[in-house]
């Protein structure tokens, strides 16, 4: 039985979705997107995700209010329509996207909400073993092309960055620099460094996608008394961090244990990572690592 997806006003089997060749989301990659996840079957930080989604729609010149209302209603309906399709204790990754539709004098946007069980098998073991990362030559898109706050499907630079990272070290994930040579984003995550004398340091939010999950990290850091700040980080500064993390919606928080082939800190997940992830599990009332290992083993 296939999951149901919201597609332009109706619920259809997800396998029935097809984007016309002349849809601008396909022909030009003009797609605003937001990915959410559930914890215990409930969508997490929906309001914050929709706020960012609204801004993306506004940047694309689309009528954001009715589109956000439509997407919000579909998100609220998704879980109930697909409840029977997921194992007890597992959770969903849910994606909403909107394109301008076909070229027309009166645009009719394409609207979709779809989802699948979170693919924990892709990273479950990395909570314990850590992630390898490489600083690549491929750069982030400059702000004079499109604002960093726009979350869109135009991701050729991410694809090339990951290919570059893989060519340098098998299994490594890419970290991109911005146009000024400062640390930017991972291809699917925000980058966070921890220094014993500075606390958590992240790139300036004006230069990177404002991560909803990164905001959760700040809240948890506050509750644990861990200072955090935004700053321009040079690659050589990042290399001296005591701990480095990737943070994004599905993974929550993963430790980077090697950077450019060199160990980060002790070369294993550190104490700050453990504290933050434990606090995260408490916040969402889900054993994040336990869930990932359990369902990741099922593939």
Residue 224 falls inside a structural domain: yes
CA-CA distance, 128 to 254, in Å (whole number)? 9
List phi, psi (to 5°) of 158: -65, -45
What are the tens digits of pLDDT across the range 123-180? 999 999 999 999 999 999 998 999 999 999 999 999 999 999 999 999 999 999 999 9
CATH of residue 109's domain is 3.30.470.10
Instruction: Give the domain range for residue 97.
Output: 4-118
The pLDDT value given to residue 297: 85
Given a cut of 90, whether residue 104 has pLDDT beyond it is no
Residue 272 falls inside a structural domain: yes
Nearest residue to 107 via CA among 23, 222, 4, 28: 23
CA-CA distance, 177 to 264, in Å (whole number)? 18
Nearest residue to 193 via CA among 179, 213, 172, 214: 214
Identify whether residues 38 and 171 lie together within a single domain.
no
CA-CA distance, 257 to 120, in Å (whole number)? 19
Given a cut of 80, whether residue 110 has pLDDT beyond it is yes
The pLDDT value given to residue 116: 96
Given a cut of 80, whether residue 76 has pLDDT beyond it is yes
**SS3 state at 9:** coil
What does each C-alpha distance from 59 to 56, 109, 147, 185 come to in angstroms?
5, 14, 8, 21
Looking at 87-91, 102-106, 281-285, which range is the least confident one?
Answer: 102-106
What are the tens digits of pLDDT across the range 217-226? 999 999 999 9
The pLDDT value given to residue 1: 66
Identify whether residues 214 and 238 lie together within a single domain.
yes
Identify whether residues 83 and 12 lie together within a single domain.
yes
Last residue of a domain, one of 118, 153, 188: 118
What are the tens digits of pLDDT across the range 116-129? 999 999 999 999 99
What are the tens digits of pLDDT across the range 200-236? 999 998 899 999 999 999 999 999 999 999 999 999 9
Residue 299 falls inside a structural domain: no
Identify whether residues 289 and 149 lie together within a single domain.
yes
What are the tens digits of pLDDT across the range 258-267? 999 999 999 9
Identify whether residues 109 and 130 lie together within a single domain.
no
The pLDDT value given to residue 103: 86
Identify whether residues 113 and 160 lie together within a single domain.
no
Last residue of a domain, one of 88, 118, 148: 118
Given a cut of 90, whether residue 42 has pLDDT beyond it is yes
Stretch 61-81: mean pLDDT: 97
Q: Are 235 and 191 in contact (CB under 8 A)?
A: no
List phi, psi (to 5°) of 279: -65, -35
Domain count, the chain: 2
């Amino acid at each position: 039985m296939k999951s149901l997806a919201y597609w332009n006003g109706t619920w259809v089997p997800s396998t029935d979705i097809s984007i016309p060749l002349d849809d601008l989301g396909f022909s030009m990659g003009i797609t605003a997107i937001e990915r959410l996840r559930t914890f215990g079957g409930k969508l997490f930080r929906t309001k914050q995700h929709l706020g960012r989604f609204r801004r993306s729609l506004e940047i694309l010149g689309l009528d954001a209010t009715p589109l956000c209302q439509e997407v919000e209603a579909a998100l609220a309906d998704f879980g109930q329509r697909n409840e029977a399709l997921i194992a007890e204790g597992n959770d969903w990754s849910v994606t909403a996207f909107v394109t301008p539709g076909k070229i027309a004098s009166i645009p009719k946007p394409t609207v979709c909400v779809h989802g699948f069980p979170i693919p924990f098998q892709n990273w479950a073991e990395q909570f314990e073993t850590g992630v390898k990362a490489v600083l690549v030559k491929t750069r982030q898109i400059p702000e004079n092309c499109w604002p960093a706050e726009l979350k869109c499907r135009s991701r050729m630079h991410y694809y090339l960055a990951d290919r570059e990272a893989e060519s340098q070290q098998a299994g490594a994930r890419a970290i991109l620099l911005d146009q000024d040579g400062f640390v930017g984003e991972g291809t699917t995550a925000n980058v966070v460094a921890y220094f014993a004398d500075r606390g958590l340091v992240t790139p300036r939010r004006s230069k990177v996608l404002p991560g909803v999950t990164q905001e959760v990290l700040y809240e948890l850091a506050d509750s644990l008394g861990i200072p955090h700040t935004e700053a321009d980080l040079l690659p050589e500064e990042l290399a001296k961090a005591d701990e480095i993390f990737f943070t994004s919606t599905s993974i929550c928080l993963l430790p980077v244990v090697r950077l450019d082939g060199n160990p980060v800190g002790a070369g294993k997940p550190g104490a700050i990572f453990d504290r933050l992830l434990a606090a995260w599990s408490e916040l969402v009332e889900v054993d994040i690592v336990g869930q990932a290992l359990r369902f990741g083993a099922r593939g």
